[in-house]
Structure 1
């Protein structure tokens, strides 16, 4: 690839919890690949699970699944992209041939691969993606554009939920993807959206973004009074309850806020060992639908439409940026929640 360096700087894990910033060869381009010079790559809670060796991660690995940058090179079969285009990338790669892909259920692909999770991703100076997974962006800053991948997961969640007009919604948690999903639900059938979350940076940002119609500030030490007040104020519950905290305890209790005939959305990222217990008689008698929403496929065009136009607001969600060499500091900020969302940035 003429004019490009032979090697690049990357954050690489050789196994869970063991990482270093290293020099590695530039990715090799397949004929339909686009090489992106990375400008920013988002960090999310999933990356904490990957650090611990969870969430289908495969090692050795260069993490980073929320890549934004400019086109640096293109494969010989690539059309419609030119050097210098500002782009983001869908991290998933699907086989197209397995049982689920042949049924049109590509997210359930038996050979599902994802850059930054099972394949090398964007915590590097360059990353290569199939041209069909690369999308042009115009208005968003590089840092704000890192929200396109998590917001695409929110768009997939919206499709799974399929809210009816006039739905009431309760969301537990005010993390980045939850804030995107709450706004999408407001735009698509949610007549009254409530966010219940601990007080602090995330809840204040939710209010600033106008992500919901009502906000319930939960005590971090003893939220039982607020939980009970929420139930008392909504005796019939909610049409849609979204558990977006990743807490199995809150997920287990969430079913008691679901209206008869309503939907419970399992939306957070949970540890592999987490378990919940629900009374089957309640699910049966109240005809409750329990939905899982995991990732996304084919949602980037819709998501770019919402975010690039400003209809879904993301400014301020990324409140911390770091260089590759500051990865340990970044991890700590994510763990102690001083970062609402972080991003690795490159010059």
Structure 2
């Protein structure tokens, strides 16, 4: 095995190059993973001085001396990228997702857009029935499971999911599997809505015209005069976050799930939240949700076949970003 590897390196947000780096040395409780595929996420754009990539799939290439988790060289695995301190105010209260020292592979630590990555052995999970491309969806599925844990919706709710990105499609499937009586997916007409229908993610689909979506919004509102018990904003659009509250049924819940710029703001009337008793919640990342995500995808109950529409080599990472930003892909992945 060569001692150097190709990797993507961000020097600042949106400023990247392909570099040669040393293959990581593993600690006694770590495994060395030869990366076979890594999903590209919208949040990857905003990193600096880092090898990004947190949706990691690979094969175990070496195992540390004290590893007792049962993984061996050759195992195909996905990686839970979250690294917690277990010692801060929130960790000690069991609120791990709020860890004050929250770290993550590909976010604050070297990630998977490289040929190899070092991973804590307790953070790797074996996969069986998934292709490498499909397995990149385990991490987004884990985040969606955390979202449903936070939502804690009663059986029989009617749900509107805004956005048909990979996580929105997984959220929709989870809601159907866990008691929603009706799931409507609303998104701009594109390959994403086509894949959503092919995978039977929702019960109904609203395809919005990118230039003039007002007629579709009016039709949605007239067909659902009481709104929805749950509205999930999964587009990351400031405008959609502002408008979404007007689609929530009285007594209902708005979940903010998208990734937004820090400068984005919402302007909601407190009187509406008060008078309609609307619950507003956020859902950020995940902790300890990987076992359920692996089972859901391995079993086929969550369908992800075809969600990864495009793959690129590390040397073509900029092309991968361009494809993702073109709105002509559902999920893009890098294969070292």
> Do the two structures share a fold, i.e. TM-score over 0.5?
yes
Query: Match for 2:235 among 245, 258, 265?
Result: 245
Question: Structure 2, unaligned stretches of length 5 or more?
Answer: none
Residue 106 of structure 2 aligns to a residue whose secondary structure is coil
Query: Match for 2:272 among 268, 274, 282?
Result: 282
Residue 319 of structure 1 aligns to a residue whose secondary structure is strand
Q: Which residue of 1 aligns with 2:220?
A: 230
Q: Which residue of 2 aligns with 1:30?
A: 27
How is 1:1-347 mapped onto 2 (pairs within 5 angstroms)? 4-48=1-45, 50=46, 57=47, 59-79=48-68, 80-346=70-336
String of CA shifts for 1:280-331, please: whole Å, max 9, x gaps.
0111111111111110000111011111110000011100000011111111
Alpha-carbon deviation of 1:28?
A: 2.1
Question: Structure 1, unaligned stretches of length 5 or more?
Answer: 51-56
**TM-score, length-scaled by structure 2:** 0.98
Q: Is the 8 A contact 2:58 2:78 kept in 1?
A: yes
Alpha-carbon deviation of 1:16?
A: 2.2
String of CA shifts for 1:60-93, please: whole Å, max 9, x gaps.
1000000001101111110111100000001110
String of CA shifts for 1:213-260, please: whole Å, max 9, x gaps.
001111111111211111111111111000111111011111011111
Worse-matched range after superposition: 218-227 or 316-325: 218-227
Residue 315 of structure 1 aligns to a residue whose secondary structure is coil
Paired residues, what number?
Answer: 335
Structural RMSD (CA): 0.9
CA–CA separation in structure 1 for the residues paired with 2:2 and 2:100: 36
Residue 181 of structure 2 aligns to a residue whose secondary structure is strand
String of CA shifts for 1:106-126, please: whole Å, max 9, x gaps.
110000001111110000000
Poorly superposed stretches of 4+, deviation over 6 Å: none
Alpha-carbon deviation of 1:17?
A: 2.4
